[in-house]
Structure 1
Amino acid sequence: MSIDATAADQQQPEQPLGWAWYGLAVVVLASVIGSLIGKGLISLVAESMKQSLKLTDGELGIITGLALTFVVAIASYPIGWLADRVDRRWLLAGCVMIWSAATVGFGLSDTFTGLVFFAMGIAFGEAVLGPVTNSMIPDLFPKDRWVTANLIFVSATLLGTYLGMALGGTLFGVAAANAQSLPVWLAGLEPWRITLILAALTGPILAMLILLMRLKRITPPSKAGEAVEGVVDYFRTNARTTAGIFFGFGLSYAAMGAQGQWNAVILQRVFGQTPMQIGQTLGVAGGVAALAGVGMAWIVVKLLRPRYGDNTPMRVAVAALTASLIVSLPIPLVVTAEQFYATILAKICFTFMANSLAPTVLQLMAPAHLRGRVVAVGGMVTIIFASFMPWVVGLLSDQFFPGHRGILLAVAIIVIPGLLGGILFLAWGLKGLPQTIMRANGGQQA
């Protein structure tokens, strides 16, 4: 372990725990609002946006995939570099204002080019969430509370994102029903535009809450160029494990995201659901399914850990993804909204069961002094996959399956092989995982 890391472990935050919990609540709120706008609301209004601006499914895929996701991969490292060197409250607040302004611009855009430009602005602002929030929590709490704080953060963000989707659907319904009685500056706008603009108004309030945080940097920043050779040696020595796990989780997460970006479109186009119905149903039921998956992961890992040790999270993830693949097979055959909802919810449960274990696997396989960089590279692989899959679904729908139910076939053709590929890569990487974990622990079995 490096000298800096040892020093960081010995220090404790000086601020009262009340301010620490306030900071955690604000960080959760920022993650929830960022996810709601970037993935929730835009996918929810995608079909209305398509009809309004005469977009193709391929163009929708570029907006919801490449523009919203790939930019995060590009911007994450520069923002992470800044997060180690400047006041993270100002960095987070500034990025919140960027994504809020970009959301307003997105809601007012009348061209595909404008939508892509402002979607990239939203993504750039949201790229701050990973590097900043993950580095803030250790500086908010004493070390003996890190696990509790992280579990609360994950659960609250997960629940808040789905509840936010339910509120987003309700907001769309209210905007549609009361378009004529809204303020003059919103009058005459379509409901999908009003929904995005109203959601963006949370930005300035959130930025003020962030700046009120009390935060002192406990973990010293890494020095420029520190341990570069160590990173290269690590990936060379553990090539099979890292490739298998990065590509496995990357493909499985992207397969889930590819369907997630198109679920609202399918429910509107194929089954006649309204954005309000979709947001409320997926928001509540999806949140329950996701939390159930995380809870199942915790229980199963706890039961099997005495037998499989540190390999347990990976084994459980592979089994959960296999279950997710099985419940995804009927996607092109569903004929009612209820059947499609059942497929979605089962898949959400098992996919979250698997992907919620990814951070634990990455933490176990990386030495402490390289952990941040290893996790960052794994995240970038996942984001790159997640950027392209929704776009490919749109292209398939436009070029090969233009009929009423064609989007179901396009989703199935991408999602099912994606899950299968993820399972095979994880199983391949699992064979080298015990040795990688042993090396990460200095040659000792954990």
Structure 2
Amino acid sequence: MAERDAIAGASPHQPMGWAWYGLGVVVLASVIGSLIGKGLIALVAESVKQSIKLTDSQLGLITGLALTFVTALAAIPVGWLADRADRRWVLAICVLIWSAATVGLGLSTTFSGLFLFAMGIAVGEAVLGPITYSMIPDLFPRERWVVANLIFVTATLLGTYVGMALGGTLFGYVAANAASLPASLAGLEPWRNTLILAALSGPILIVLILLMRLKRITRVPRSGERVEGVIEYFQTNARTAIGIFFGFGMSYAAFGAQGQWSMVVLQRVFNEKPADIGQFLGVAGGVAAIAGVGMAWLAVRFLSPRFGEGTPMRVSLGAMIVALIVSLPIPFARNADQFYAIILAKICFTFMANSLSPTVLQAMAPAHMRGRVVAIGGTVTIIFGSFMPWLVGAISDGLFPGQNGILYAMASVAIPGLLCGILFLAWGLATLADTIARASGVRHNAEPA
């Protein structure tokens, strides 16, 4: 990609109207991807287990390994494309893949079929991290990154939890009105119809993506300066990268493992219904998540004069510590209300931390390799995330086979995982300021994507 001198006085970013439209489309893509890949599949997981006669280990392989490990394999090539190709087409193709795979998942009748199509959904979702985190710095100037990221996270959270509520409502409606569905769907189980109907959002999203206008922010080296490569970047910033990637990766994976199995716990241990779970968490979970994002914004505003660009990382670390504390009572929950209270508190503080992770990643990555750096960091997260749900299922099958065993298995994975994430984040924080300084000491230029 050619690198050109910046035109004096020219803004490298889109007019704000197109910037907000682009952010809105990326939010919508993230919402639909999260709804299908995490929320909706988690919501129907227990129904799938009963329908296909799966073990907890098999269910963990589908919701963990198939949905996340394949994303790890695809993320780095996608990150490479995000730095070079038209991101709109990359995103549109991935939406097409995950929509088709969701329909296939809804029609599968075997474990191997479920695993295969879950892998297809994962391939489609691989684009979201590298594309999203690369687009926001292209759309908005640096001084607006924190605000744009927090708006993105808030809108995504609100949309995800509203989507979860709609998913629960859709599941309940399909279960109660099977006879009114088209003949091709009327004979299918409710969980199958729920997945198939949810996939219909894909074609609409593709049109919206292709209508976006986007300018790429490329790196302009100073006179005589050599452009740093990815390998050299990671060699120079090894401690920061390992600490931040492993820290966010392990803590996010621990939260994800809890999220994947929480709905199973509520159904199996506390006899809650899928529709009721989706509707309640869709509202209460959304409120808790937005509260966490609001707390993050207030904390960054209050602490920025003291800690500068290291503020988001410090706030994230503090929120992770609180999330660990509120997770400790998980094994002792004795009814659905207690369990709901624990997971809602953890949602609040986990999203307080994770809502600031995009800003940390954007600040530590040079503009010309932002897609690849984010993709590698996402790959680390995904690798942890792919095994933790399976590990919960394996521990449940092997060590805690009773009805309440899944509750203890979930706690035995989520709590140590979050603790390890906190330790890595604290270790990487020591060198983060130097990494940010090196990454930001560059001029930028706009080049059409």
**Fold match (TM-score > 0.5):** yes
Question: Which residue of the partner structure matches residue 364 of structure 2?
Answer: 365
Hey, what's the Cα distance between the residues in 2 that align with 1:361 and 1:148? 13
Aligned counterparts, 1:24-423, within 5 A: 24-137=23-136, 149-211=148-210, 213-219=211-217, 230-423=229-422
CA distance in 2, matches of 1:336, 1:410: 17
What do the CA deviations read for 1:312-341 (whole angstroms, capped 9, x no partner)? Answer: 322222221111111111111101100000
8 Å CA contact 2:161, 2:283 repeated in 1: yes
Of 299-308 and 38-47, deviating more is 299-308
SS of residue in 2 equivalent to 1:55: coil
For residues 441 and 278 of structure 1, do their structure 2 counterparts lie closer, same or farther at Cα, with a shift above 3 Å needed?
A: same
Query: In 1, Cα distance between the equivalents of 2:434 and 2:216?
Result: 32
Q: 1:84·1:221 contact (CA, 8 Å) conserved in 2? A: no
Distance 1:92 1:7, change over 3 A: farther
The offset of 1:76, in angstroms, is 1.8
Distance 1:21 1:168 in 2: 27
Q: Which runs of 5+ in 2 are unaligned?
A: 443-449
Amino acid at match of 1:323: V
Q: Say which structure, 1 or 2, has more relative contact order (CA 8 Å, 6+ apart).
A: 2
Cα RMSD between the aligned structures?
A: 2.8
Indicate how the Cα distance of structure 1 residues 436 and 203 shifts in structure 2: closer, same or farther if over 3 A, else same: closer
CA deviation vs aligned residue, 1:158-214 (integer Å, no higher than 9, x gap): 210111001000000001111122110111111111111111112222223333x14
> Paired residue for 2:423?
424
Q: 1:9 to 1:116 in 2, by over 3 A?
A: farther
How far did residue 363 of structure 1 move?
A: 3.2
- Deviations for 1:120-175, whole angstroms, at most 9, x for unmatched residues? 11111122222333444455567786665444322211210111001000000001
Matched residue of 2:209: which SS?
Answer: helix
Give, in whole Å, the separation in 2 of the partners of 1:272 and 1:255.
24
Structure 1, 5-14 or 352-361: larger mean CA deviation: 5-14
- Distance in 2 separating the partners of 1:349 and 1:442: 35
Matched residues in 2 for 1:21 and 1:357: separation? 19
Q: Secondary structure at the match of 1:36?
A: helix
Q: Secondary structure at the match of 2:403?
A: coil
> Letter of the aligned partner of 2:258 in structure 1?
Q
Q: Distance in 2 between matches of 1:245 and 1:355?
A: 12
Query: How much identity, in percent, do the aligned residues show?
Result: 71
Q: Does the Cα contact within 8 Å between 2:330 and 2:407 map onto a contact in 1?
A: yes
Q: Which amino acid aligns with 1:362?
A: L
- CA deviations over 1:365-391 (Å, ceiling 9, x no partner): 344555443333222211111111101
Asked if structure 1 preserves the Cα contact closer than 8 Å seen for 2:149 and 2:359, the reply is no
Residues 258, 389 of structure 1: 8 Å contact kept: yes
TM-score, reference length from structure 1: 0.90
Give the letter for the 1:388 counterpart: F
Taking the aligned partners of 1:272 and 1:141, their CA distance within structure 2 comes to 47
Inter-CA distance 221–170: structure 2 relative to 1 (3 Å threshold): farther
Residues 221 and 99 of structure 1, relative CA distance in 2, 3 Å threshold: farther
Measured in 1, the distance between the counterparts of 2:429 and 2:145 equals 28
- 8 Å CA contact retained: 2:29, 2:205: yes
Please give the residue correspondences for 1:17-28 in structure 2 after superposition, counting only pairs within 5 Å: 18-28=17-27
Query: What secondary structure is seen at the aligned counterpart in 2 of 1:302?
Result: helix
Task: Indicate the larger mover: 277-286 or 134-143.
Answer: 134-143
For 2:121 and 2:71, the matched residues in 1 are separated by 9
**Of 71-80 and 53-62, the range deviating more from structure 2:** 71-80
Q: Deviations over 1:292-315 (max 9, x none)?
A: 111111112222233333333222
420-429 or 364-373: which moved more? Answer: 364-373
Deviates most, 414-423 or 90-99: 90-99
Pick which of 152-161 and 17-26 moved more: 17-26
